[in-house]
Amino acid sequence: MAGARLGKPGQPPPDAVVAAKAADENFPVALRLLPSVKRRYLMAVYVFARTADDIGDRAPVAERSGLLAELEADVRRLYDGGTPDLVVPEAREMSTAVRGLREAVTRCGIPMQPFLDLIEANRQDQVVTRYQTVDDLFGYCRLSANPVGRIVLHVFNRFSPERAELSDSICTGLQLAEHWQDVAEDCADGRIYLPAADMAQHGCVEQDLSEPHASRRLKELMAFEVSRARALLDAGAPLVGTLSGPARLAVAGYLAGGRAALASIEAADYDVLAATPRPRKVRTLAELTAALVRGR
């Protein structure tokens, strides 16, 4: 999970840095057209997720496990009714990233497990740097991406098991799109999310990911992976049609971001090594409009 270190571990980064990071995402984190209270909740969730990612990616390696454990302890305190001002020898002050979730958790009935899953994804990143099969990678996405979509459904009071399943498909597709954009960056950090079985099938080896440009074999592999991610987005797209109002707008924004990100990889002729493909905002807006009109 890519992310630059933002402020003190376990605490949200400065507002300006958070805003910059949110603006750099493939998807609109909290569209300005959404009601202010929902935007506030979504930004609180984003700050938490970014904080967990920051610890898992950029904190000193020896400190990551302990910091993630502290973050989990704070989440559990939040759900146990612990207060940030509790002063006892064994209690630390609750991290601001977790404290910022209190209103959203209370008013929207967001369960604890999705937040624990996001922390667990960062734990997994500390010990797993390669994925043998796409099913292994999907298992990672169930921790790193799908919980966010489920939280969003709760934020808009639209959660149901059926919608959650569709949301999972969108979120996994969106996560894969990000991985395929960041192949070079992740490889430089020692992580490869491309399934080893897919690489072998297309005649690619890890050395191919360190070259200045993608080889023909790697481009063919990326075209295959882009197609898979797009199929996941399309499979989850009917979720938009089950929603209305702000919820429909928010989910359509995430879907549009994933589709635009994949389009940017195609536009780069699948060369994800020469530069990081980034979607143009006009393409994201066009995909958003299309998703809202079609309801998928």
Q: What domains can be seen in the chain, in order of their start residue?
A: 1-127 (no CATH), 128-296 (1.10.600.10)
Q: Of 285, 291, 206, 213, which Cα lies nearest the Cα of 255?
A: 291
* Cα separation, 140 vs 121, whole angstroms: 7
pLDDT at residue 93, as a whole number: 79
* Cα separation, 171 vs 55, whole angstroms: 22
Report, as ranges of residue numbers, the positions in the chain whose pLDDT lies below 70: 1-30, 82-92
| Whole-number CA gyration radius for the chain | 19
Q: Roughly what angle, to the nearest 10 degrees, separates helices 216-236 and 245-267?
A: 170
- Point out which residues pair with 130 in neighbouring strands: 192
pLDDT at residue 32, as a whole number: 77
CB 278 within 8 A of CB 23: no
pLDDT at residue 6, as a whole number: 36
- Token pair for residue 13? 């980064």
pLDDT at residue 88, as a whole number: 39
Q: Of 201, 202, 203, 183, which Cα lies nearest the Cα of 193?
A: 183
What is the signed CA dihedral for 2, 97, 153, 179, rounded to 10 degrees? 0
CB 94 within 8 A of CB 77: yes
Count Cβ atoms within 10 A of the Cβ of residue 112 and give its class: 0-12 exposed, 13-18 middle, 19 or more buried.
Answer: middle
pLDDT tens-digit series, residues 177-188 = 999 999 999 999
* Cα separation, 125 vs 296, whole angstroms: 32
pLDDT at residue 3, as a whole number: 33
Q: Of 14, 18, 124, which Cα lies nearest the Cα of 64?
A: 124
Count Cβ atoms within 10 A of the Cβ of residue 196 and give its class: 0-12 exposed, 13-18 middle, 19 or more buried.
Answer: middle
> Could you please report the per-residue DSSP string of 238-253?
HHHHT--HHHHHHHHH
pLDDT at residue 28, as a whole number: 60
For 103, 104, 249, the CA distances from 99, given in Å and listed in that order, are 9, 10, 27
Q: What is the DSSP letter of 210?
A: G
pLDDT at residue 56, as a whole number: 95
pLDDT at residue 30, as a whole number: 56
pLDDT at residue 82, as a whole number: 55
Q: What is the DSSP letter of 192?
A: B
* Cα separation, 93 vs 85, whole angstroms: 7
- Point out which residues pair with 192 in neighbouring strands: 130
pLDDT tens-digit series, residues 59-91 = 999 999 999 999 999 999 999 975 544 433 455
